[in-house]
A and B are shown apart, each in its own frame.
Chain A
């Protein structure tokens, strides 16, 4: 009975973290902390895999239809998916995103099953060199494949890195461009940067291009069947990105959020090289979404096999398990593996169905002028920025930061802001890995 309740709550939590921008899995898990402390340890893992699995499906939908990335890992989905939506291919984008996610979930599970006998050798993947190579590769490819000129991409990447660096670093004991202002000591939060420097320019560009009404035909069961048949055309992309996603899940400091970026930039690079890439590319959309989902499961491996949590959410799970006097071990995981896999796959299936139901509800916006919809999105984003800031007693501060970024957002209209946002996201792990490489080998 407890398992059933946990499963339902896991689904609801996944919906919450997937649909609402800024509300990530960690926030939901922190809210659910007292509840988790009362659960049977196996059910804690079931809650986690269910939440992560459902979250993946819904994160993509908000990004595709409204152009609002729920978090940094949905940015690639937003770039291609929302472009597809504007081109009248919203239904395809939703279905391919969901089907790709589903395929990748199964891929992730199968990969772990296959690797079980040799999983110990996966240790080799968890080193700084691999991390550094992958991060550098992603950054370089990103600079090359963005729509702007290379110099502008470099400048935008540097601006993103600069913004990420602002604040007081407790590790280094130094403040960077804080001007002794309390508001800047905590650094510039992710949501205002994403909203103002990514979503705002994109919405303004879209608004200037299209003055039509919001039009979303929704998805149908037939549509799913048709797209399943078409999915075989994307098989190499699915395999490539699911593999990259799975590997990203294993590597600490990267996790499946980075896998999504890595799979996306690799696919975009390949498509550009073959002169097949155009904004609103189905292959690129499938790549980012499937990498996300494959990594969502494989990231459990370091935690469950070695007791090494590689994301903050996992650290929380680990803490709960420890507090319940359950040392995480291979033996324990082996005994719970089957049921966890089962719940992961069942929740992935439910995610697939619920996602279809949910997107059809969004047809209520049909006929509404696109400018109104975009205005609503912006108001909603400002509200979300305030609300997520308020969680840390800093709602007004976050709003002020967002407002201060608006002029920069306007400068990015009709330009590709991707390098700036990725400069912001990748700055920390990239620099950190380079410095460590120097310390390790020189």
Chain B
């Protein structure tokens, strides 16, 4: 009887310990940006299980936390970081799931009437702004020049990119979340040059961490339902982990070839 009581007590404590185990979320990007917002969604979706935000300066520091933290941690991780053994590439043993994906949108400033014409995008002497990324720049440029050989592709960093359309120095912007800007085309594989190898291109994030989290619980949360970045959809939902990993690898290799 005494033994049974002891077993019950230990089991009870163990369950409590598990129930109390909090999950921290690593924030490693510019506050208020896309990756940051998707990390906040993770925290909110965890509800009671959310511990604290661990804020680090960059992806190298985030990787370090993931590899060394004794407490459960998770984070939204841009897919391109897993390409080619960079300092930010994390071992696949920390891969939990694919998280979100949004096709690139080509946007223009609402009051720019000339840019609203799709023929201008296809044939005009246009300037298109893209995010300054070693990984994405080459395929984006390749696609844009196939669409319109007269186009100029300009790389932007965060702050000037936000106001580039408003200033009138570029005609279009290629982004995964269009915000308030008007959308002229979506790179969904159908709207523009369907036969082009990069016609279906988008920005995606993975879920990494040192604990297993059911991605469905994130998608079913209010935080996900009320997200700002509505163009970001669940990525490879319902697929097996191994399949997801293989697909990610295939996508990275395809895009990566162009980058190299």
Q: Hey, which bits of chain A sit against chain B, CB under 8 A?
A: 26, 29-30, 123-129, 131, 168, 170-175, 178, 182, 185-187, 189, 252-253, 302, 306-312, 314-319, 322-323, 325, 327, 391-394, 432-433, 435-436, 439-440
Contacts and interface: CB of A to CB of B under 8 A. Distances in A.
B162 interface: yes
A165 to B, nearest CB: 14
Contacts of B154: 436, 439-440
B7 interface: no
A131 B164 CA distance: 12
Best-surrounded residue of A26, A312, A391 (most CB of chain B within 10 A):
A312
Given A168-B60, A315-B30, A392-B56, A310 B134 contact: no
A127 B32 CA distance: 22
Contact of A126 (B84, B166, B179): B166
B32 A316 contact: yes
A175 B59 CA distance: 13
Contact of A252 (B40, B55, B162): B162
B231 to A, nearest CB: 14
B59 A170 contact: yes
Interface in B2-46: 30-33, 36-37, 40
B36 A319 contact: yes
Contacts of A187: 58
Top 4 nearest A-B pairs (CB, nearest first) are A315-B32, A173-B134, A319-B32, A127-B167
B48 interface: no
B259 to A, nearest CB: 8
A318 B32 contact: yes
Given A393-B54, A432-B160, 7 more contacts: A168-B58, A310-B162, A315-B33, A322-B228, A325-B226, A435-B155, A436-B154
B213 interface: no
Interface residues of B, number: 48
Given A182-B60, A323-B228, A393 B31 contact: no
B160 A436 contact: yes
Nearest to B57: A392
Nearest to B137: A171
A222 to B, nearest CB: 44
A189 B61 CA distance: 13
A174 B134 contact: yes
B168 interface: yes
A93 to B, nearest CB: 32
B65 interface: yes
A435 B153 CA distance: 12
Given A252-B163, A319-B36, A436-B156, A26 B31 contact: yes
B133 interface: yes
A436 B154 CA distance: 7
Nearest to B30: A312
B163 A302 contact: yes
23 contacts: A123-B167, A124-B167, A168-B60, A170-B58, A171-B134, A172-B132, A178-B87, A186-B58, A186-B60, A187-B58, A302-B163, A306-B166, A308-B163, A308-B166, A312-B30, A312-B32, A315-B30, A315-B31, A315-B32, A315-B33, A319-B40, A322-B228, A393-B65
Contact of B162 (A29, A309, A433, A435): A309
Given A310-B162, A323-B228, A173 B156 contact: no
Chain B contact surface mostly: mixed
Best-surrounded residue of B57, B59, B170, B226 (most CB of chain A within 10 A):
B57
Nearest to A327: B180
B157 interface: yes
Best-surrounded residue of A170, A171, A307 (most CB of chain B within 10 A):
A170
B260 to A, nearest CB: 10
Contact of A309 (B32, B84, B86): B32
B58 A182 contact: no
Given A252-B160, A252-B162, A307-B179, A440 B55 contact: no
A30 B60 contact: no
A391 B162 CA distance: 28
Contacts of B81: 170
Nearest to A254: B159
Contacts of A30: 31, 55
Nearest to A313: B31
Contacts of A126: 163, 166-167
B215 interface: no
Contacts of B169: 127-129, 440
A440 B127 contact: yes
Interface string B52-72: 001111111100110000000
Contacts of A129: 169
Contact of A394 (B33, B36, B61): B61
Contacts of A186: 57-58, 60-61
Nearest to A329: B180
Contacts of B226: 325
A433 B164 CA distance: 12
Best-surrounded residue of A125, A173, A306, A316 (most CB of chain B within 10 A):
A173
A432 B131 CA distance: 13
A41 B30 CA distance: 21
A171 B204 CA distance: 16
B192 interface: no
Contacts of A314: 32
Given A252-B162, A310-B162, A440-B127, A393 B64 contact: yes
B128 to A, nearest CB: 11
Given A315-B32, A393-B56, A393-B61, A171 B132 contact: yes
A39 to B, nearest CB: 16
A178 B87 CA distance: 11
A319 B41 CA distance: 12
Interface string B139-169: 0000000000000111111011011101111
